[in-house]
Structure formats: structure tokens, C-alpha cells
Amino acid sequence: MSFVWLTDVLATYDDDRPAHEYLGPDGEWVRLSRRELLREVRVAAAGLVGAGLRPGDRVAMVAGDPGPFVGAFLGALWAGLVPVPVPPPPLLGRREPWRELLDTVLSVARPKALCLPAAERELARTVGPLVTYEELAGAPPSEGGPVPRGPQDVVYLQFSSGSTARPRAVAARAGAVMANGLAIMREGVNADADTDRGLSWLPLHHDMGLVGFLLAPLAVGVPTSFLPTRSFVRDPGSWMRAMHERSATLTFAPNFAYALAARRSRPESVAALDLSRVRVAGCGGEPINREVLRRFTEAFAPAGLRPEAVLPCYGLAESTLAVTFPPGGRPLTVDRIDAEALARGSAVPAPDGVPDAGPVTEVVGCGSAFEGHGLTIRDERGRCLADRAVGEVWVTGPSVARGYVGDPEATGRTFGRDGWVRTGDRGYLVDGELFVTGRAKDLLIVRGSNTDPQRVEWLVEALPGARLGGVVACTRPAEETEELVVVVECRESAAGGLPAQVRSVLGEQLAMAVHDVVLVRPGTIPRTTSGKPRRQETRRRYLEGELVHVQ
Amino acid sequence: MTNQELLDLLHQGLHRVTARTFAPLSLQDKVDELGVDSLEMLELVAWAEEQTDRRVPDAKLHAVATVGDLCAVLAGAPVRTVLQ
């Protein structure tokens, strides 16, 4: 059977069934039928070709408002170009770090042109051709069919949203994108184009937004509603309100968004919603905190949200997007394990009902790898480990990429010639189900014990006065071993008692000694554009004495 | 509202949103240097909008660099009609 690429699917969009809808600034939804979407794609393709771009050319696209971006991105695929989604400027302030990031991204991707909204033309200081979305929308539609693509062709570049200093671009191949998109929609969420509707506010320069809600649904014809990311950021309640209004059944977001949605929810607003149609509220992209998911499902239970709709998943851009999904319709799998054994690399179930049995850690199960894909846990030398032994997660299969663009060194470290990808994440398997415990490179290694920083950070940020998401755990070198340092953003009024509480909770819950508690003002901890704390950069600033302590 | 009323409102909002104390604001203060992160900043905007029953269009926020800019976009924002 010949290979079917997304634009081949798009070419069949010649009816009036719903395709996309975009929330406009006036609060109204702009609806596109399949036929109208195809026309937009043809118009954008013609505009890009008219701007001098040819098949194989890279074109960077600022992924702000979904409406103009989606048409242009798909138009680029139609014309055989290689689009490169890049982050939009922040809504308010912090322009300079964004410009620096954009410069770095463009220096890696080296596109022929940059596409952006006319209103942002002045913000980018890029030299090189600029094409506005408004200009693209004015072209007469391209008459011909899509430029044919084979499964090995690189169809777009996906920058990883990791917390590393230098962003890396994964070269996404058509075959991998289709394999992953179909696995997500068929095996992962069991989608039905006639009854399901996806809804997303996720940034479209991230794999979860781009693959999860633009490319994968398109592959099987599931209609999708898009909110601008800023709608959610300015008003987190807009997410679940939109799920209700649009009768959406599928959504996804990282852990922090579920925390925010639950924290800002008001019972009287929740009571007015009907979320009983929601089949999948997927969670992935960062370590998953069981407590956060519990708070979210409790907050929205009065609206009919079923707890089993919450699906914790695992994936990474190096495998297009998703690797594991739990089977639908089952409650969360939570593994209660001995925290001290975990530090020694072993996930030993904690005895039930035994008082004073020692500290316990809860890890959420993320399901098993898609059919035809492989997932193993390995030690530092690449040897496969048994069930419940903690090591690095390695993945393989038709969804994985072959390398990063222009970075042979990182490609060599991550992508094996045998098709296995080293993810840099740590976890363990139980009967094929993956339990992720953290990132390998951030691991805290103190006196031979390994602890994932996220476990420390979750405990500390729950203390009164500490800021949610404003804690970094790292180590500093010492004579015999590394020592644990905890950097905490906190209110000045809470500063007095906090160090003792940090020491006490980590001693009790993780049996860890804390060598330094650094209290800093909120906003001090460096973050990625997606808001994740940059642990390595925080550690560097600590070691260089650059962190300003709260008095 | 006068600039001073808006400054007082934003000062109160900073405290409400972050539960921290802040020195009185001036129009020249840069928003990046207030000691709040981008999410808190947007919470402040949302809070001030609620208090003044106004809605600042997203496009206007792009140009905000100082507290004075923020006062100006709040003062010039249309009264909220839809949403919620």
C-alpha cells in the first residue's frame, strides 16, 4: 500500500463536515468546514510559493494565534516546504529573552523566511525575508495537488521544549508523524471522527499542541477547537468553559495546567458546566503529580467530569510526541513505593497498613508503549534492566526521529544507529507499564543515593509561604559527596521559619539531609519559555553566588 | 480614574495576587523589574480588569513596558461587555 501523508488526507477534505474552529478576540468562534480549511491551505500554499519559497525550503512560523498559523503551517506542508514553528512573543514584558531565543532558534534552523502576524513585524529583529500571515491570506488558492512526500522525507522541524540552554530541533519525518498520529488517535484515545471533538489551548510550537491537536486529529478527521494560549493564561477557567461550550471530548495539557485550572476554579462556576462528555483529559510533558490530578478531578467532579477521563501519558519530541498511553476508562494507576529503596534504584512496593514503615513515594503509571513500538529501561552501560529496577527510558519504533538538525554530537548521544532513542528520563517498568520518576541529568546523587529533584521540589513547594512551581533542588560539590541544596522562592514574611520546615519535611519524607536552603524572591529562579524551572542554570547561579537571598 | 488611583489599585493588586508586600509604585517602574513572574503579571492585569470592569485587548498588552504603560492601557480599555 502506498504511503499516505497528511496532505493526501487534506486533499480529500471536500465536504461541509466540521474541521476546525478558532476562538476569536471577540469571544466568538470562527468555524471552518473541511472544504473551507482545504481552501485556506491552498491559499497559504500559493502565498508561500508566491513569496519565492520552493519545495524543501525551511520557513520559520511564529506560532501565536492558531487561526493564521494553522493555515500557513498546513499550506507549507502542501507546498512541500519544511515549516519550523517558533514561539510567539510573550503577551506582556520580557521581550529581550524572547528575541534572544528567536535568534538562537533561527540560527539553528536557518530558514529561508520568517512568517509572522503583521502586528509583530516590528518585534522581530531578524534579518532576512519576513512574510506576514495577512499577505499569505490574500493569494488566490493553489490549483494543483499537494507536493508528494515519502515516509523518509523531513516534513517540519520541532524544537524540543526542554530546559537545556541550547534548543534542539528534531527533524520530523512524514512516516514517523503519521505513525505517531495514528497510534495516538486509534490506540491511545480510540477516536471516532463522528462523535469526538478535540479542544486545545496548547502552544502550537510545542509537540503536544502541534502533533496532538493539529496533525493527529487531521490524520483521522476528528474536528478540533483551538483557543489561543493566552486565553488560558489570562483566564485559566476558559479551558473547561470551552470544553463545556463546544461539547469537546478530548483535551491534553501538562501537569502545571491542571494545577492552575483546579486552583482558580470557583465552585459556582464549575456547577454551571457539563463535562460529562469529556472522554480524555490527557496529562504529559512534565512529571505528573498524583496530588495535582486528584485536586483537578475533585474540583471538576460536580460538573460530571469522570476521574477515569484523566490519562497520564509519556512522550517526547524525539518520538514525534507520544510513546505510552494507559488503556482508556480505567482509574489512575498509582504505585506506592519505598522512598529509600527508590534512592538506591529500586521500586519496591511499600507495605500497606504498616505504621512507621518508612517514607513512601507515589508514582503515577503512564501505560504501555504503542503497538509496534519498544520501550526498555537500561543502566548507564545500556544493559536492559528487570521490572521495578530504575534506569533510563529507551524507546524505539516507527514514531522515533533519526536526529537533531545541525547537531551531530547531540544526535550521537541520543539517537542510536539501531533505532533506539535514549530519552534522558528515568523510570521503571511493571508488567509493561511505564512509571516515570524524573530526568536523568537532573538526578540528585548524594552519598550513592539517587533522588529525582521533582520529589524534593513537590514536598517543599507545598510548605506554607513557598511558591508553587518556584522550588529547585540541586546539588553542590563537597569533599566526600555532593550535597543537597534547595532554592525556594518565598514570601519575605515566611522566610524565618521556612529553612527549618524544609529540613524537617525532607528528613521525614525522603530521609534526606539538606545542606543549604536558599530563600529567594519570587521570579528569581530562571525558567524556560514554557515556565519550567531551569535546574542546571539555577545551580550554576547558586555556585557562582549570583542568587540574591531574601533578607 | 487618575494615574494615582490606578497606581494605588495596581499596588493593592500586586499584594492581592502575590500575597507579598511591595513599595509604592511609580509610573516609571519597569514591569520586568517588579519582582513578579509573567503569570503573576497577567493575574494582576486580570484582577485590575475585574476591579475596573474593563478588558484590555491582548494587542495593547504587547506594548506595555512600564507601570505607566499599564495604567494607560487600563485607562483606555473598553468597558467589558461579554466574557464570563
What's the pLDDT at B35? 67
How close B67 gets to chain A, by Cα (Å)?
A: 11
The Cα A426–Cα A428 span in angstroms is: 7
Q: Is B79 on the interface with A (CB under 8 A)?
A: no
pLDDT of the residue at A551: 59
Residue of A nearest to B57 (CA): A25
**Among A156-165, A204-213, A467-476, B41-50, whose mean pLDDT is lowest?**
A156-165
Domains and CATH numbers, chain A: 6-227 (3.40.50.12780), 338-438 (2.30.38.10), 443-543 (3.30.300.30)
Contact flag A123-B62 (C-beta cutoff 8 Å): yes
Residue among A266, A272, A271, A232 at smallest CA distance from A252: A232
Which sign does the torsion angle of CA A85, A154, A418, A2 carry? positive
**Lookup result for grid cell 492601557:** B73
Structurally, at CATH architecture level, domain B3-76 sits in: Orthogonal Bundle (1.10)
Q: A417 or A533, which is more confident?
A: A417
Q: Which residue from A121, A125, A215, A109 is spatially nearest to A171, judged by alpha carbons?
A: A109
Cell of A337: 513505593
pLDDT at A228: 93
The position carrying cell 486509534 is: A186
Please tell me which of A100-109, A236-245, A344-353, A540-549 the model is most confident about, judged by mean pLDDT.
A236-245
Question: Which residues of chain A have a CB within 8 Å of the CB of B39?
Answer: 233, 531
Cα atoms in the 13 Å half-sphere on the side-chain side of A263: 13
Q: Hey, which of A99-103, A312-316, A478-482 has the most confident mean pLDDT?
A: A312-316
Greater confidence, A461 or A511? A461
Q: Which of A28, A92, A256 to mutate to test the interface with B (most CBs of B within 10 A)?
A: A92
The pLDDT value recorded for residue A529 is 62
What is the share, in percent, of chain A residues with pLDDT greater than 90?
64
Asked if A470 contacts A522 with a C-beta cutoff of 8 angstroms, the reply is: yes
CB contact under 8 A, A531 and B39: yes
Global model pTM greater than 0.90:
no
pLDDT tier at A208, thresholds 50, 70, 90? very high
Q: Does B19 touch chain A (CB under 8 A)?
A: yes
Specify the pLDDT at position A504.
Answer: 87
Cell match 544526535: residue? Answer: A411
Taken in order A401, A404, A410, A412, is the CA torsion positive or negative? positive
Name the closest residue on chain B to residue A234, using Cα atoms.
Answer: B42
d(CA A414, CA A102): 24
Task: Mark yes or no for CB contact A522/B38 under 8 Å.
Answer: no
What pLDDT is attached to residue B84? 41
A435: DSSP letter: E
Q: Which amino acid is at A350?
A: A
Question: Which residue does chain B place closest to A494, by CA atoms?
Answer: B20
What pLDDT, in 10s, does the model give residues A433-489?
Answer: 999 988 777 878 776 677 888 889 989 988 888 888 889 999 987 766 678 999 999
What cell was used for A128?
A: 532576512
The C-alpha angle A299, A300, A301, rounded to 5 degrees, equals 100
Residues in chain A closer than 8 A to B46 (CB atoms): 234-235
The verdict on a CB contact (< 8 Å) between A522 and B36 is: yes
Cβ pair B40:A25 closer than 8 A: no
Domain range list for chain B: 3-76
pLDDT, position B71 = 95
Quote the pLDDT of residue A164: 44
- Among B19, B21, B45, beta carbon nearest to A92: B45
The one-letter code for the residue type at A475 is T
ipTM associated with this complex: 0.78
Query: Band of the pLDDT at A79, cuts 50, 70, 90?
Result: very high
Residues of chain B falling short of pLDDT 70: 18-20, 35, 37, 81-84
